[in-house]
Amino acid sequence: MPCDRIIVEEVSIVLGEIQFQDVLRQRLEHVNNGLDYQTGFARETLHWLEGTGDSPVMNLNDHLAELKGKYVMQEQRTAHNAVLGVNSSAAGGSNKKIEHF
């Protein structure tokens, strides 16, 4: 039976590492998508300021609200609120330890 326990422990370690890597990959994808979204808005704004394009379709506050709506984890919303100086509890923060997305 000690061999069985060792195998279970080793498999558990490997599965934990795979899960960590998947969560990290998802977070990096969300960051990359957010950066792409922000880049598009910045590009529209730059063209408008240079006089080579129309005014951005959305104002900055609406753009940021739409970006926040794309978040899937409370941690993202909390970081967003912190950067903007918004109290997380006043903004509907959650204390969940596990989130499914």
Written as tens digits, the pLDDT of the chain (101 aa) is: 678 889 999 999 999 889 989 989 988 998 899 999 999 999 999 999 999 999 998 998 899 899 888 888 888 889 889 988 988 665 454 545 444 44
> How many angstroms from the chain centroid is the CA of residue 20?
16
Q: Which pLDDT belongs to residue 23? A: 87
pLDDT of residue 92: 52
The answer to whether residue 99 is domain-embedded is no
Flag whether 47 is in a domain.
yes
Q: How many domains does the chain have?
A: 1
Residue 90, in any domain of the structure:
no
DSSP annotation of 74 reads H
Residue 93 lies in a domain: no
Give Cα separations from 60 to 42, 57, 72, 96 (angstroms): 10, 10, 21, 30
- Domain assignment present for 96: no
Range of the structural domain that residue 15 is part of: 2-84
